[in-house]
Amino acid sequence: MPGWMTSAKAPIAGVTLGCIIYGFATSTFAMTIWVLKDRRKIPVNTAMLTLATVLWILSTMRACTDIAQLVTAFNNVNLQIPTGPFDYLLDFSHSLFVFDQCLYYISTIIGDAVVIFRCYVVWKKWYIIAFPCLTCVGAICSFAWVEWCFAKNIPYINWVLMAFAFTLSTNLIATGLLAYRIWSVGMQTYRHFDSTYARSPLRPILLVIVESGMVYSAMLTIALITIIHAPSVEWVVNGLMTSLISLTFNMVFVSIGMTKNLQNSTATRTPVPLSVVVYRDRTQTEDATETGPSTLKVSQFDHVDTYV
């Protein structure tokens, strides 16, 4: 497949940068375990703890697989041929490469599914996530076909573009809906609790969710563009993605833990818990808010901060 890479430096750079991002992902994973296991911060959610572990394991497996590909490419057998390492790295049908991409696609699908689930948790309406679910299913089908194309060594570029487009759409739409819901509910809730709040305590979590979504979306956009126009760059970006997904997933929980620590250390009054999002009953008078949340008819997002 000439033109896909002009130098074997691309996969080396991809593995190097991927291992650096993996180091950051491992650090945030350790912090996430600490946050999720410390009941003083947020109640333990087994599903989120399991997903954080699975994503970290996938990023670990992919880092090891990438290193194994480089070691195999530059072994004694391939070095006996002038273009041996280069030819091996260009052969996308060998088992290590197919397995490597499978790990990436699985982590991508998990990441998209988590964003959709978080969106549903804060909206509680199925129709809100209908379109992101459709694009996620499209991405799953496209990734499965791309894997088959890799294994059979047949053209696959159009399917890769389609898969990236589907997962980018899923991430942008679900993240946008999630961020808007947290922002709107947070502003409404904390104005009714106490007018002296300068800003909603949910804002740090909102910023991390938006930043995480934008970083991931930016990397997907770069991959989408470079897969045709700059394949060497796409190879490098591809190597970062699995660890980046784990990193962005864990950043939300780290932010929750830091926000709760800040609340506990600086609050001079009883803080409003992040796990309770309260809506004011429109039938009540404005004076009712002065008596505190116990007088309000409320609906709750049960432990929202364990999911978002």
Q: What is the pLDDT of residue 46?
A: 78
Residue 299, pLDDT above cutoff 50: no
DSSP string for residues in 99-150:
HHHHHHHHHHHHHHHHHHHHHHHHH--GGGGHHHHHHHHHHHHHHHHHHHHH
Q: What is the pLDDT of residue 61?
A: 95
Q: State the pLDDT confidence band at 135, using cuts at 50, 70 and 90.
A: very high
Q: Is residue 296 a contact partner of residue 284, using CB atoms and an 8 Å limit? A: yes
- What confidence tens digit (pLDDT) does each residue in 250-277 have? 887 777 666 665 555 554 444 444 433 3
Q: Is residue 210 a contact partner of residue 175, using CB atoms and an 8 Å limit? A: yes
DSSP string for residues in 209-256:
HHHHHHHHHHHHHHHHHHHHH-HHHHHHHHHHHHHHHHHHHHHHHHHH
Give me 54's structure tokens: 């699975």
Q: How far apart are CA 158 and CA 4, in angstroms?
A: 14
Q: What is the pLDDT of residue 226?
A: 83
Q: What is the pLDDT of residue 138?
A: 94
Q: Is residue 305 a contact partner of residue 253, using CB atoms and an 8 Å limit? A: no
- What confidence tens digit (pLDDT) does each residue in 83-97 have? 777 778 877 888 888
The domain locations on the chain are: 9-262+271-278+296-306
- The pTM for the full model equals 0.77
Q: What is the pLDDT of residue 283?
A: 40
Q: How far apart are CA 11 and CA 236, in angstroms?
A: 6
Q: What is the pLDDT of residue 67?
A: 92
- What confidence tens digit (pLDDT) does each residue in 18-66 have? 999 999 999 999 988 887 776 555 555 677 788 889 999 999 999 999 9
DSSP 296: S
